[in-house]
């Protein structure tokens, strides 16, 4: 089974983590950020710079959060699960259960917006037929035109100064 479909394990978790290769934050000069009209970033130890997130890695982070939540529910093993769905919805965002739920809700909303913003418009044909199953479209086998996100983020068009300052995602907590 491909690692991205597999239940969380050290191997599948490593495959998910390797997707973004730690390219989640960039450090930009404040004046350069102003010319890009991207607003304020997070503070750094250098008063002339700020940190900014990179959308595609945030999207992968959110997909990973939803993946973890799915497997936790499927295996009924998350300490954040509550037998009463309405009880979880009333938790405070400062409570761990409330924060977890709020984070997952943010991820659903964020991914929905990302798909509508830059959705893949490749036409997908019928999947190979499986005995006793109706025909279906599963998206596999279609010729997609993909971007090399790491290469693109390191191109001169993206900004050589930015790509040289890419930081590891573990240096800051998301959401």
Delimit the domains of the chain by residue range: 10-115+141-171
Buried b (16+ CB within 10 A) or exposed e, 86-99: eebeebeeeeebbe
Tell me the pLDDT of the chain (175 aa) as tens digits.
567 888 888 988 888 888 876 667 888 999 988 898 888 999 999 999 999 988 888 898 899 889 988 888 888 766 666 655 555 555 566 777 778 888 889 999 999 999 998 888 888 899 888 888 898 998 888 888 777 766 665 554 444 343 333 333 333 444 4
């Amino acid at each position: 089974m491909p690692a991205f479909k597999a239940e969380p394990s050290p191997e599948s978790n490593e495959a998910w983590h390797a997707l973004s290769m730690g390219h989640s934050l960039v450090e930009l000069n404040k004046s350069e950020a102003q010319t890009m009209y991207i607003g304020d970033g997070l503070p750094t130890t250098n008063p002339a710079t700020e940190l900014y997130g990179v959308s595609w890695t945030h999207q992968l982070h959110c997909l990973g959060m939803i993946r973890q939540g799915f497997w936790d529910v499927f295996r009924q093993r998350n300490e954040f699960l509550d037998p009463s769905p309405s009880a979880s919805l009333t938790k405070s965002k400062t409570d761990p259960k409330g924060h977890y739920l709020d984070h997952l809700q943010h991820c659903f909303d964020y991914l929905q917006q990302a798909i509508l913003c830059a959705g893949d418009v490749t036409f997908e044909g019928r999947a190979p037929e499986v005995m006793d199953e109706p025909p279906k479209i599963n998206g596999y086998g279609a010729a997609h035109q993909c971007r090399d996100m790491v290469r693109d983020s390191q191109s001169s068009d993206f900004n050589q100064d930015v790509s040289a300052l890419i930081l590891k995602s573990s240096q800051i907590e998301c959401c």
